[in-house]
Amino acid sequence: DTGVSQNPRHKITKRGQNVTFRCDPISEHNRLYWYRQTLGQGPEFLTYFQNEAQLEKSRLLSDRFSAERPKGSFSTLEIQRTEQGDSAMYLCASSPRGTGGPDTQYFGPGTRLTVL
């Protein structure tokens, strides 16, 4: 068990550029989550996958954001035409499917995005 990994750890981009982040969940975890965390705040839910199906999306996920999990393993989060307000830490988490009640979400180290 190597934990949830995220790449890159840091990304600096210019306004208007597209960026893509990758999340590798703990193997055999079939649930995967994306969150955004701005400085001094708690994480905000963006979206959730069960296997390859995207089951829930927050209203925070504007049409410039898209997330995929094509084979039910790793996931990517793409932000198109980045804006300075997109600057944040993007966290990924995964959890196994439990038989009842929620399972613990295991978080990755995050990707810190800075939009200049």
Partner 1 sequence: AQTVTQSQPEMSVQEAETVTLSCTYDTSENNYYLFWYKQPPSRQMILVIRQEAYKQQNATENRFSVNFQKAAKSFSLKISDSQLGDTAMYFCAFLPGNGQNFVFGPGTRLSVLP
**Binding residues for partner 1, per CB under 8 A?**
3-4, 31, 33, 35, 40-45, 48, 55-56, 58, 91, 93, 101-102, 104-105, 107-110
- CA 46 – CA 33 distance, rounded (Å): 8
Q: Measured from the CB atom, is 13 or 37 closer to partner 1?
A: 37
Residues 37 and 89: beta-carbon distance below 8 Å:
yes
Least distance in angstroms from the C-beta of 29 to partner 1: 13
Least distance in angstroms from the C-beta of 28 to partner 1: 18
- 1-36: burial string, b at 16+ Cβ within 10 Å, e else: eeebebeeeebebeeeeebebebbbbeebbbbbbbb
Q: Measured from the CB atom, is 80 or 87 closer to partner 1?
A: 87
Q: Measured from the CB atom, is 79 or 93 closer to partner 1?
A: 93
Residues 67 and 85: beta-carbon distance below 8 Å:
no
- CA 35 – CA 115 distance, rounded (Å): 18
Least distance in angstroms from the C-beta of 27 to partner 1: 17
Q: Measured from the CB atom, is 85 or 101 closer to partner 1?
A: 101
